[in-house]
Each structure stands twice: as structure tokens, then as C-alpha cells.
A and B are shown apart, each in its own frame.
Chain A
């Protein structure tokens, strides 16, 4: 009796939750095997909640979830996609999924990208498309930008920079005050790529940046050299913390927290650890990476996290239902509120209590275009050699020509 009551209440609740209705109508049975890389506390809890919700909608469905450490996942995915594919797996948008699309390990899910859902997810469609087909569904994305110590800026009488000149003038004052402008930890390389991406997007624009990561432009191009020259100004000024090659991105946070450095160019996922390290909303604030070349429209970095169906999956229909469920506006709203990130579905609402999410949302809505991130836009091998080059450049800026030649040689090999 009580179970009948419960299911009917649930059915009511879910049909209310799902405006689409069609999904809730037929109950799914059988199995669903989900592999996730969301091993950090907040994403883990979020996904467990979403899966529990899906499980309540389909009580006869047996869902088996495996959460794998985020970094280990990046190498394990190759093995499980070929040997023991789950029905749903997390991954990243852009070129990062290319190896698996090319070898037919990801299922073509263009059929999900039809009608209403396609409109609602339009902003990320390009990032999910290879060869005119879509290979997965995005569940979340987040902005990149400069997270800075508002209290220190006030103390030094600095205002938020809008242009490169202001940014450099600010940095000079910060250095003169005996602090560093930016904290960064380049031990795992990718943090340096965030700097390169933004400097290149602002110096040469989105089109050139995309051409470069797609292998169509040369690394020894004068435009790349201009980007690096801008970067070098900050390096020569002593803008970055010392010994950054020894730290991971988390280990670089204390420099910001204890005020030795005043800003951090990072993705929004850094806010949570920075706040837990002791900074409050009054001390920490956010600004958009400033304009460098006049007249170049501001494109932003917004990496998208995605869900895919391996082509070897056993329960593809159930997996499709799960992907549609995750992409629906209601789930997107609740899920990203708890992730502290932005929903991909444009019908979903943003958690406006979080000032960083709010600012990021406004910034990305006004963005000229969205880049994924260096290691998602460029193919894996290019990304690796490139990021190593950026790290070397930050330590030994004099090696620039040598570094760019090495990147150019890699480009010739990788994209042939």
C-alpha cells in the first residue's frame, strides 16, 4: 500500500519535474552501468543525487555506478572503452574526444540533438560536433578568469583593469609593494596553458587561436611571437610567484590566501578550495581577462564537461534516456547549483546566490565565442608538447625561439 502510494507520489513529482513528460511516461527496466570521473567531493555528491533521482523515476532499473579518480580516469578510459564498456561515461568536449570518435568507440548521439533539446543546448553544439555529428551531451561548463584579492586591491588603491596597460600598471604597483601579481602552479603543466589561451585570444583573437590549435597556423608565426612577448612582459616584471614549477594548482592557492600573490587566473572550480582555505566573498572577487588588442572581440574560455555513450554499451536506449534526463532544464538547474558551475541548457536557471557563477554567466553570455581549453582544443600530442613549452617559457623566456621551433615540428607531425 505504502509503496503504491510512494510510486504514485514519485510519478507525480517526476512528471512535474520533467516538463517534457515523454521521458517519465515509460518506465525503464534492465541495467544501466555508469562510469564517472567526478571524484572530487562536490561533483561526486551531485552525481550521486542525480542518479538517485533517475533511479526513483525508474524503480525497476538496476543502476550500477563506478566513480574513478579524475586523473586515473584519463588513462583508464582507453582500456574500459575497448574491453569493458559501460553504458554512460563522462569525458570532455572538443578535440579531447577525437581519438575515441575516430576509432568508433563513442556512439553517435545525433538523434538526441533533435528538436527542443537541440535548441536548448545550442551554445555547446559546435564543441560536441565532429564530422557533422554529435558524440555526447554536455552537463556543465564553467568560466575562466582572474580571481583576485579585492581587499589587497583596495589597500593598494588599485581598480579592476579593463585593458592590458592597466593590467600591467596594476602589476607594477603590486610588485613594488613587495607582492606577486599572480599565483600559479605549473607542475602539471595545464595551468600555464590557461595563460597562453587567454593571452592569445586577446592578442590575436578567437579565429587565430582556433586555427593554431587546429594545426592550420604556424607556431613560428609573428602573431604567436606577439602573444609570447605580451606574456614575457609579465614574466620579466616578476609578476608570477617564484618556483611555480614545484606546485600543483592546489598548492598555489596558499600564496593567494596569505596575500603573497594577489590574483589567480583559473577556472571557477578553484573558488571552492580557495574559500575553504579561508577567504570570504568580501576578500575574493572576479574579473574578466582584460582587453589586449583594441578591436578584437572578447572570446572566453569555457571548458565543457560531457557524458557519452560508448559504442560497445549494452543498454544504449536506457543510456540515451539518462543523457536526455541530465540535459533537461530542471536537472541542469539543480545539478549545476550544487556543482557551483553553469548549466548548459539555456532554459535552466543559474544559481544567482553565488556571485562567481552569476558573474561568469553574464560574462559568457556576452562572449564573442567560447574556447574549450588548450588541451581540449588541440590534439593530445600537440597539447602535451605545447604545455611543456609554455612551462619552459615561463622559467626560461630566452629559449622562446627554440621552444616555438619544437612546437612547429610537432605540429608538422601531428596534423599531417
Chain B
């Protein structure tokens, strides 16, 4: 310590604090810490808690009783579970219609005429309003006595259809309501995507004689791949968490025919007559694995994309 300045600096390098020495590698973790903490507390830990609760019989109030895999055994031959699962599949498949529908509306709106911004915002409008409002509007639209749908088909002599009260139509009726805002969402994704389409490539394709469907399929759509990917992700996720529309429009009815897994989970665990936390957690675990399948696929393809670059 008594030596010159050069020696001192060398001395300090050797004895720098632990933090100083590891600053570069620690700093990112420090910045990530709040996010990691909340993600752990509100997402990761609850996932494992759900796994745990699904092994108990518990009414959410009193003592829990360990019953092993009994909840899953019961789930295995619960007809209501299979109805929900089937409806979930129908949702997944039909909800994807929002992607082509959104694409065509986007192509249609992607032009420069007077007031196009207004038209765009009108088309986007259903996505802005709450799902609950969408549900209510469609409930009235389908109403068998005064609904617009039955007034229209009644005018051509077809009998009233009780869309939301008939087990054969009810899921399709709700999906149609869900497609309205979802299509708007996909449309806005494609509209932004279309801005990034390279006009030179279109020019070149046109010189080569491409037009119409071939132009769309071979030139435009490949350039829209990032938008398609996002549209796909949000639509799949949207289909799997379809809850509010069902709750507002039918409350899972008639006799449980419009339930999906997320709604059934809510019903058995948290609704007016639901006191079965364990059973609800078991449904949540099944739903988690279904979602995990899709999420893993998306993560994998995103990873592939990153590497390809």
C-alpha cells in the first residue's frame, strides 16, 4: 500500500470486489430478477401447486384429503370431460378460420381510396370491444323469438333455430361469435404484414406473368410468413382459453353441451355449485399439457427460425 501508483492499480485489480469481477455476467440477471420473481410466484409455482392439488379431494375451505390419482381416474370416464374435450377440438379447428378470413379482409382493405382508414377501423372495431359485449350482442342476434337471425331466416320461410339452446348448434354458434373479433385481430396483423411486402418482388412477378391466386399464393403469402405465424399463435391460444363467451352466452348449457375444458374447470372448482378444487386442478393439468404441446411446437419453430438467420 505504501508503493507507487502503478503498483497500486495492479494490487487493486487482484482484489477487486466479487461483484466488480463478475459484473458483466451478473447484471443481466439483476435486471431480469423482478420479472423472474413474479413469473415464478404467479406462473411457475402455481403450475406445480395445481399438480399437487389435483391429487387431493378438497372443497377449498376445509382440510384436504390425499386421494392419489382418483381425480384422474374419475376424469377418465366422465362424459362431461369428453364433451368439453371434443368442444375444445372443434374450437381449435374452426377458430383457425379467422386466419384466412383475416387475410382476405386485409387484402381487400389494403388499398388507397378515400376514407380507407375509417373502413379499417370499422373492421377492427369488434376486437376493441369487450368479449362480454360480443357475447351479449350475439345472444340477442340468436334469440329464438326476436333475434335478427331468426327474423331473417323466418322471412324466407325457415323455422326458428334456437342456436344457443340446441346442443347440436350451440358450440358452432359461440365459435361464430368468437370469430368476429378474432378475424379482426388477424386482419390487423396482416395489414401490418402487407406494409412490409416488397413492391419490387411484386413488380418482378407481374413481369413474369403472375396474377390472381398464383400471385397471392407464391409471392404474397410467403412474404407474410411472420404475420401468419403470430396469427396462428394468438388464434390457437385464443381458442384454448375461450371462456368468457361461453360464460356469457350459455353458461356452459344446454346441459353442459357447450363447455370447453377451461369452462368445465371453472365450473367444478369455482362456480356457484363447484366445490371440487382437486378435480378442477386435474382438468387444469390436462389443459396445461394440451397447451404445452402447442407452445412447445411454437417455441421449437421459433428457435429454428432464429438459427436459420
Chain A residues within CB distance 8 Å of chain B: 71, 74-75, 78, 81-82, 99-100, 102-103, 105, 186-189, 242-246, 254, 375, 380-381, 383-384, 388-389, 391-392, 395, 406, 413
Contacts and interface: CB of A to CB of B under 8 A. Distances in A.
Nearest to A413: B74
Contact of B60 (A78, A242, A391, A395): A78
Contacts of B166: 245
A405 to B, nearest CB: 11
A289 to B, nearest CB: 24
Contacts of A375: 273
A82 B254 contact: no
Given A74-B272, A380-B274, A187 B162 contact: no
Contact of A392 (B59, B162, B254, B271): B254
Interface in B169-196: none
Given A254-B145, A375-B273, A395-B167, 20 more contacts: A75-B272, A78-B61, A82-B61, A103-B59, A103-B61, A103-B62, A187-B254, A188-B251, A243-B160, A243-B165, A245-B166, A246-B142, A246-B144, A380-B272, A383-B273, A384-B272, A384-B273, A391-B254, A392-B255, A395-B165
A384 B266 CA distance: 13
B144 A243 contact: yes
Contacts of A389: 255
B270 interface: yes
B84 interface: no
A99 B275 contact: yes
A246 B60 CA distance: 32
B271 A75 contact: yes
Contacts of B235: none
Nearest to B79: A406
Contacts of A75: 270-272
Contacts of A187: 165, 250-251, 253-254
A246 B162 contact: yes
Main secondary structure, interface of A, reads helix
B61 A245 contact: no
Contact of A242 (B62, B162, B270, B272): B162
Contacts of B282: none
Given A74-B272, A99-B275, A381-B276, A245 B60 contact: no
Interface of B: 59-62, 74, 79, 142-145, 160, 162, 164-167, 250-251, 253-256, 267, 270-276
Nearest to A386: B273
B265 to A, nearest CB: 14
A395 B61 contact: no
23 contacts: A78-B60, A78-B61, A81-B61, A103-B62, A187-B253, A187-B254, A244-B165, A245-B166, A245-B253, A246-B143, A246-B144, A246-B165, A375-B273, A381-B273, A381-B274, A384-B267, A384-B273, A384-B274, A388-B255, A388-B256, A391-B254, A392-B255, A413-B74
A14 to B, nearest CB: 38
B98 to A, nearest CB: 26
A272 B197 CA distance: 63
The 10 residue pairs across chains A and B that have the minimum distance between CB atoms: A245-B165, A246-B165, A384-B273, A243-B162, A392-B255, A245-B254, A103-B62, A103-B61, A380-B273, A243-B144
A414 to B, nearest CB: 10
A380 B275 contact: yes
B217 to A, nearest CB: 43
A186 B162 CA distance: 13
A242 B144 contact: yes
A79 to B, nearest CB: 9
Contact of B253 (A74, A102, A189, A380): A189
B176 to A, nearest CB: 16
- Name, among B79, B162, B166, B276, the residue most crowded by chain A CB atoms within 10 Å (CB to CB): B162
Nearest to B159: A242
Contacts of B271: 75
Contacts of B60: 78
Nearest to A185: B165
Contacts of A105: 61
Contacts of A244: 165
Contacts of A383: 273
Contacts of A186: 254
A244 B166 CA distance: 10
Contacts of B273: 375, 380-381, 383-384
A245 B272 CA distance: 19
Contacts of B74: 413
Nearest to A102: B62
B61 A391 contact: no
A391 B253 contact: yes
Contacts of B160: 242-243
A391 B255 contact: yes
Nearest to B162: A243
A104 to B, nearest CB: 8
A314 B60 CA distance: 23
A332 B74 CA distance: 48
Contacts of A413: 74
A245 B275 contact: no
Contacts of A103: 59, 61-62
Contacts of B145: 243, 254
A74 B273 CA distance: 9
- Name, among A189, A375, A406, the residue most crowded by chain B CB atoms within 10 Å (CB to CB): A189
A390 to B, nearest CB: 9
B78 to A, nearest CB: 10
A72 to B, nearest CB: 10
- Name, among A71, A82, A103, the residue most crowded by chain B CB atoms within 10 Å (CB to CB): A103
A381 B162 contact: no
Nearest to B170: A245
Given A103-B61, A389-B255, A395-B255, A246 B164 contact: yes
Contacts of A388: 253, 255-256
Contacts of A246: 142-144, 162, 164-165
A48 B114 CA distance: 58
A245 B139 CA distance: 13
